[in-house]
Amino acid sequence: MIKHFITLEWKQFLRASYFQKGIVVKIFLILGALYFGGIALFLGVGLFFIAKKALPETDPVVTINNFIIYWFLFEILLRYFMQQLPVMNVKPLMVIPVKRDAVIHYLLGKTMLSFFNFLALFLFLPFSIVLLVNGYPVVNVVFWFLAVLFITWSINFLNFLVNKSNIGFYITAVLLLSLIGLEYYGIYAASEPIGFAFNTLYNNPYLAGVPALLLVFLYTLNFNFIKKGFYLDGVISRKIETVRTTDLSWFNRFGSVAPFIKNDIKLIWRNARPKQVLKMSVLFLFYGLVFFPQDTYKDTPAILAFASIFVTGGFLLTFGQLVPSWDSEYYKMMMSQNISYRKYLESKWYLMIFAVAISFILSTPYIYFGWEIYALIAAGASFNIGLNSFITLFGGALNRMPVELNAKAKAFSNTNGFNPTQLLIALPKMVLPMLLFYVPYKLVNYQTGILVLGLSGILGLILRNFFLRKIEIIYQKGKYKTIAAFAEKN
């Protein structure tokens, strides 16, 4: 049965409209996995010697055990943001004689192939080998290593549950930050009792059975959780909600694009996924606090230019990158109407520049760090409006992954609608403003860099009609491919 599932998914991949793009994406993902896996291997080999040099009076095994909890907490957060949970189109399987248990076991088994499960292997296997070479007891090292793997795999299945809710993320994030803060300021050394537990596990190999039992428990919990909702009635049923009407007549002043703008505002207001993205975009306003107060970055102002793009471009970068995927659920209907593609794109553009303008107003407190910083933010806002908005719309023409508007997962980790092609489109969004600022800054001075960055946005506004016309042509050419891709069930 597992062989049949693999065959079906392989055929779905080969026959999908995004097949060629998927091949390129997978090559990039494999190269990325090799790169980070190589880093983990080198770090694992040197971990013993790093620990010995940092605390020479302490056994490296004890040092690692004392701080390994931070690795596991970091891994939970990393998985929450980065790990894409496997999906499978199970509706067709529900009406044929296929055992539900087999489908669920296959789905859970796919999670074990995640790169994050191998990351701990790459890190702690070389460390364990170095321990054995240095004469540490074989049984203790082997069972300690197995315990670490069991905990890693347990985190994998824990993430499967946590990914359904924001509560687990907030608890983990607060716990990690609290432990680091308490340790850093010497209030409470959380590493001591936790380190004692891991050292006890190392000294008593039979205790490796505890994380093994935890792994079995979490697997069973996930299995029962999925099986509970694995019914055709639960899949096809729709939740009926009362919709509140909102007066949006103010937007009528935008003329023929007003209906599209009002439709997008209602979409954001009434649906879970875009509402989450809107909330997340607000966090970008605080991005400058990471860079602007630090004296380190004053010697590398190109990084400050990079930060200024994020301060005012939160909504543009998060909501804008999923145009037209936001409309995927009714895109076919829209395209069958007498609707101007130009007006459709203009409405998205107006919405993004409106959000940039609001973000710029809200960024006014950054004047505290000096007028030069605030001028840099203003130049970044100009770039976002005049150039970044068009780059984002262009990237949307290459994005044919549908979005589930009421997906319950978080905006941070919800990869529904995510296309790795967006990562390639993100490069000019990030690198171009840094170059526009850095080159004149290096050749002339800081003020000239700000001026060039700001004028680039004004130039983009002057060429607005030209950019929109070219982007419209690209959307028109890919119209039917986009409709077909949105109709696919991924």
pLDDT in tens, 428-441: 777 888 888 888 88
Q: Is the pLDDT of residue 142 over 90?
A: yes
Q: Is the dihedral of CA 197, 198, 202, 205 positive or negative?
A: positive
pLDDT at 5: 65
Mean pLDDT of 153-167: 76
Share of the chain above pLDDT 90, in %: 8
Instruction: Tell me how far apart the alpha carbons of residues 91 and 231 are, in angstroms, rounded to a whole number.
Output: 9
Write the burial class of residue 297 (CB in 10 Å: 0-12 exposed, 13-18 middle, 19+ buried).
Answer: middle
DSSP state of 206: G
In a 13 Å sphere around the CA of 50, the CA atoms on its Cβ side amount to 8
Task: Give the amino acid at 164.
Answer: K
Share of the chain above pLDDT 70, in %: 76
Terminal Cα-to-Cα distance of the chain (whole angstroms): 20
- More confident position, 212 or 257: 212
**Residue 148: pLDDT band with limits 50, 70, 90:** very high
Mean pLDDT of 32-37: 72
Q: Is the pLDDT of residue 293 over 70?
A: yes
Note if the bond before 126 is cis, omega within 30 degrees: no
Whether the Cβ atoms of residue 321 and residue 424 lie closer than 8 Å to each other: no
Q: Where are the beta strands (DSSP E) in 323-383?
A: none
pLDDT at 48: 87
**Residue 409: pLDDT band with limits 50, 70, 90:** very low
Q: Is the pLDDT of residue 186 over 60?
A: yes
Which three-class secondary structure state does DSSP give residue 201?
A: helix
Judged by phi (left if over 0) then psi (alpha if -120 to 50, else beta), residue 409 lies in beta
Q: Is the pLDDT of residue 8 over 60?
A: yes
Radius of gyration of the chain (CA): 26
Number of helices (H), then strands (E), in the chain: 23, 0
Instruction: Tell me how far apart the alpha carbons of residues 120 and 110 are, in angstroms, rounded to a whole number.
Output: 17
Mean pLDDT of 396-420: 58
- More confident position, 262 or 357: 357
Note if the bond before 205 is cis, omega within 30 degrees: no
In a 13 Å sphere around the CA of 283, the CA atoms on its Cβ side amount to 8
**Residue 254: pLDDT band with limits 50, 70, 90:** low
**Residue 217: pLDDT band with limits 50, 70, 90:** very high
Task: Give the amino acid at 140.
Answer: N
pLDDT in tens, 358-377: 989 988 888 888 888 889 88
Written as six digits, the tokens of 300 are 């590398």
**Residue 68: pLDDT band with limits 50, 70, 90:** confident
pLDDT at 413: 40
Mean pLDDT of 22-45: 71
Q: What are phi and psi of 409, to 5 degrees?
A: -70, 170
Instruction: Tell me how far apart the alpha carbons of residues 225 and 240 are, in angstroms, rounded to a whole number.
Output: 24
pLDDT at 89: 57
Written as six digits, the tokens of 354 are 């409106």
The mean of the pLDDT values for the chain is 78
Q: Is the pLDDT of residue 212 over 90?
A: yes
Domain ranges of the chain: 19-236, 253-487
Instruction: Tell me how far apart the alpha carbons of residues 3 and 25 are, in angstroms, rounded to a whole number.
Output: 24
Mean pLDDT of 71-99: 69
**Residue 308: pLDDT band with limits 50, 70, 90:** confident
DSSP state of 398: T
Whether the Cβ atoms of residue 144 and residue 202 lie closer than 8 Å to each other: yes
- More confident position, 407 or 413: 407
Mean pLDDT of 335-339: 77
Q: What are phi and psi of 237, to 5 degrees?
A: -70, 150
Q: Is the pLDDT of residue 143 over 90?
A: yes
Instruction: Tell me how far apart the alpha carbons of residues 77 and 72 are, in angstroms, rounded to a whole number.
Output: 9
pTM, rounded to two decimals: 0.56
Mean pLDDT of 263-283: 79
**Residue 455: pLDDT band with limits 50, 70, 90:** very high
- More confident position, 382 or 191: 382
Among 257, 309, 284, 331, CA closest to 484? 331
pLDDT at 147: 92
Instruction: Tell me how far apart the alpha carbons of residues 275 and 267 are, in angstroms, rounded to a whole number.
Output: 8
11-25, 57-71, 114-128: range with lowest mean pLDDT: 11-25
Q: Is the pLDDT of residue 272 over 80?
A: no
Among 84, 80, 72, CA closest to 29? 84
